[in-house]
Chain A
Amino acid sequence: MGNQIGKANLEVFAETLLQEAKLNNNIVAVTSDSRGSGKLVPFGEQLPYQLIEVGIAEQNLVGVCAGLSAVGKKVFGVSPSSFLTARSLEQIKNDIAYSNQPVVLVGISAGISYGKLGATHHSIHDFAVLRAINNISIVSPADNFETSEVIKKSLDYDKPLFIRYGKKPTLNLHKEGQKFEIGKAIVVNQGDEIVFIATGETVQRAYLASQILKKDGLNATVISMHTIKPFDKETFLEAVSNAKVLISIEEHSIYGGLGEMCASIISQEKININFKILGIPDEYMINGSQSEVLDHYDMAPHKISNLAKALISK
């Protein structure tokens, strides 16, 4: 695949779902006036009987998904992550997770994808709130390959699943023949003393930072921790056990997400490593595009590489 810029994961999701739904009329998409923002207009035109539109009513969307699933449908509930995982959190908790309905909830335009639309539309809480809910898996694919794979794998996934991604084109990160499994992290680059662990659209930033470090003769490991829950502790421990520096990078609050998951393991396993969590701090967030905001909060590739160099020399 090489490191070409691909499509937006949003587009790949919609294309993959349409392709799969054409082959399997048991697949149903449920939208909350989100078919446009979810790139599901072609789905609605080509498979009108497989798309349920509930209007701007996210709580109802999640409940309807649970009911459809209980009567045997393979259901994809598609709605902006900001609304899906906040307004309808109780429906996710009770009607999907606690009721063990294998619905796929798709949080579109997650993180700070909506950029300048502001904090009402950001979902920098979704990992944190869903991690604290029993019996739901969380996947945040990094690129087109991971997005397409997680949708295909979700068809046979027999547990509640939440998938979130953004809407900007992403760098293709994986080599031909790469395998994908929900719950199994992918090592994008095997390095030595420096480890970058990232999820979703920040993996490409970690990768670009590792490319910068290569010029300085440093080989950083880059992990795409696409599955936030269940967390692939094995791959993580393998990567950090002989490393000196660990930097986690996520398009999420620094509370309750990938970084704190790493911190929890490091402290409990007594791993001695220079560790820094990059994410959105607890403050009135700066306004800007997704890219500008991530850069501002020290997630620009050159800032990540500089931080790694500073930490390795400590």
Chain B
Amino acid sequence: MDITQLKKKSLEYRKTLIEIIYNSNAGHTAGSLSCIDIINVLYNDVLDITPDNFNSYDRNRYIQSKGHSVEALYTVLCDKGFFEKKDLDTLNNFDSHFIGHPTRKVNGIEHNTGALGHGLSVAVGMALAYKMEAKPFKVFALLGDGELSEGSIWEACTTASKYQLDNLVVIIDRNNLQISGDTELINPIEPLDEKFEAFGFSVKKINGHDMASLKENLSAKPVTENKPSVFIANTIKGKGISFMENIVSWHHRVPTKNEYKLVIDELNLEIDKNNG
């Protein structure tokens, strides 16, 4: 997909994810906005995971370890045809499969996540299985930055490095905020690049909202031979909505009616500009 189309998709996705959060009166708004561009590029340009090949073993995989940003993932999966919008509109309803964290009850979800620090080990297991079978498929795992305080993440890194999983691509949604505030004040995780390098990863910092950069970097195969790779994607929590950007409280705040109108107006303006 070309850059203009990807940009257009991102704006539409932002509208949808805020719409479903607003209508269901729950969700992780700002974290979904920080990673939506990454998920957009993955599903529209990199992964080649479709409703037709989803039940096949012979394909790439995507694990969203930061499961709370599920509204971003549901939005993209809906656009890719995994389910209909009317089903997504049941988000958070009684007896809906569309709950606040990814579940395999929803078509297109690879693995149940929500408790942090789990996804990378699962992705390592998947990447190992493909290596054992000499299959050319890659496994992508999206991690939050606050999540990196979980020790299990670093356990998984040691195995990824030991088995030289160059078919494993880790993406860190480095938006610098977690639920209680600045990641470096809560429990410092920097220097991230040096940490991952020390754990045997090929490390690259990228702009997590730059479509061209995401497209180019996430498509590299492999990034470095015999090494797992990590992209530290610098992002902005709440990206794309002026009054949400870098504001901690939007971690899981739901817009009021007036705020929702402002969101839609702001995004419509951007869509017009993008089309113009």
Chain B residues near A62 (CB-CB < 8 A): 121
A95 near B111 with CB under 8 A, answer: yes
Chain A residues near B113 (CB-CB < 8 A): 94
CA distance A50 to B220 in the complex (A): 29
A63 near B152 with CB under 8 A, answer: yes
Q: Is A66 an interface residue (CB 8 A)?
A: yes
A99 near B104 with CB under 8 A, answer: yes
Interface majority SS (helix, strand, loop, mixed), chain B: helix
Chain B residues near A140 (CB-CB < 8 A): none
CA distance A71 to B133 in the complex (A): 10
CA distance A8 to B151 in the complex (A): 35
A64 near B124 with CB under 8 A, answer: yes
B77 CB to nearest A CB, Å: 17
Q: How many residues of A contact B (CB 8 A)?
A: 27
CA distance A66 to B115 in the complex (A): 15
Q: Is B129 an interface residue (CB 8 A)?
A: yes
Chain A residues near B110 (CB-CB < 8 A): 70
Q: Is A59 an interface residue (CB 8 A)?
A: yes
Query: Per-position contact with A for B94-126: 1 when CB-CB < 8 Å, else 0?
Result: 000000000010000011111101101111111
Given the known interface contacts A94-B115, A95-B112, the answer about A67 and B152 at a Cβ–Cβ threshold of 8 Å is no
B155 near A72 with CB under 8 A, answer: no
B112 near A67 with CB under 8 A, answer: no
Chain B residues near A63 (CB-CB < 8 A): 118, 120-122, 124-125, 152, 156
Q: Which of A225-260 contact B (CB under 8 A)?
A: none
A98 near B112 with CB under 8 A, answer: yes
A67 near B104 with CB under 8 A, answer: no
CA distance A50 to B241 in the complex (A): 50
CA distance A63 to B159 in the complex (A): 11
CA distance A198 to B122 in the complex (A): 36
Q: Is B127 an interface residue (CB 8 A)?
A: yes
Chain A residues near B92 (CB-CB < 8 A): none
Given the known interface contacts A57-B158, A59-B152, A60-B156, the answer about A72 and B57 at a Cβ–Cβ threshold of 8 Å is yes
B115 near A68 with CB under 8 A, answer: no
CA distance A64 to B127 in the complex (A): 9
Query: Per-position contact with A for B144-176: 1 when CB-CB < 8 Å, else 0?
Result: 000000011001101100010000000000000
Q: Is B132 an interface residue (CB 8 A)?
A: yes
A70 near B122 with CB under 8 A, answer: yes
A64 near B159 with CB under 8 A, answer: yes
Q: Is B201 an interface residue (CB 8 A)?
A: no
A28 near B156 with CB under 8 A, answer: no
The 8 Å CB contact of A59, one of B61, B123, B155, is B155
Q: Which of B158-199 contact A (CB under 8 A)?
A: 158-159, 163
B129 near A71 with CB under 8 A, answer: yes
CA distance A181 to B110 in the complex (A): 31
B127 near A67 with CB under 8 A, answer: yes
Q: Is B128 an interface residue (CB 8 A)?
A: yes
B132 near A73 with CB under 8 A, answer: yes
Q: Is A52 an interface residue (CB 8 A)?
A: yes
B111 near A54 with CB under 8 A, answer: no
A60 near B104 with CB under 8 A, answer: no
Given the known interface contacts A54-B155, A60-B159, A67-B124, the answer about A99 and B111 at a Cβ–Cβ threshold of 8 Å is yes
CA distance A54 to B159 in the complex (A): 6
Q: Which of A77-118 contact B (CB under 8 A)?
A: 90-91, 94-95, 98-100
CA distance A49 to B133 in the complex (A): 10
B118 near A91 with CB under 8 A, answer: yes
Q: Is A69 an interface residue (CB 8 A)?
A: yes
The 8 Å CB contact of A67, one of B114, B115, B117, B128, is B128
Q: Is A281 an interface residue (CB 8 A)?
A: no
A44 CB to nearest B CB, Å: 15
Q: Which of A2-25 contact B (CB under 8 A)?
A: none
CA distance A66 to B129 in the complex (A): 11
Q: Determine the residue in chain B with the shortest Cβ distance to A59.
A: B152
Q: Is B140 an interface residue (CB 8 A)?
A: no
Q: Determine the residue in chain B with the shortest Cβ distance to A71.
A: B129
Chain B residues near A42 (CB-CB < 8 A): none
Q: Which of A109-134 contact B (CB under 8 A)?
A: none
Q: Which of A26-74 contact B (CB under 8 A)?
A: 28, 49, 52, 54-55, 57, 59-60, 62-73
CA distance A65 to B139 in the complex (A): 15
B141 CB to nearest A CB, Å: 10
Q: Is B130 an interface residue (CB 8 A)?
A: yes
Show 24 A/B contacts (Cβ-Cβ < 8 Å), sorted by A.
A28-B132, A52-B128, A52-B163, A54-B158, A55-B159, A57-B155, A60-B121, A62-B121, A63-B125, A66-B121, A67-B111, A67-B121, A67-B123, A67-B139, A68-B128, A69-B125, A70-B122, A71-B133, A72-B129, A73-B132, A90-B115, A91-B118, A94-B114, A94-B115
Given contact pairs A68-B126, A70-B110, enumerate 18 new A-B contacts (beta carbons under 8 Å).
A49-B132, A52-B128, A52-B163, A55-B158, A59-B117, A60-B158, A64-B125, A64-B128, A67-B123, A67-B125, A70-B122, A71-B126, A71-B129, A71-B133, A73-B129, A91-B121, A95-B111, A100-B104
B residues with a Cβ closer than 8 A to A are 57, 61, 104, 110-115, 117-118, 120-130, 132-133, 139, 151-152, 155-156, 158-159, 163
A residues with a Cβ closer than 8 A to B are 28, 49, 52, 54-55, 57, 59-60, 62-73, 90-91, 94-95, 98-100
In the A-B complex, list the 10 residue pairs whose CB atoms are closest, starting with the nearest: A67-B125, A63-B121, A71-B129, A60-B155, A57-B155, A64-B125, A67-B126, A67-B122, A59-B152, A68-B125
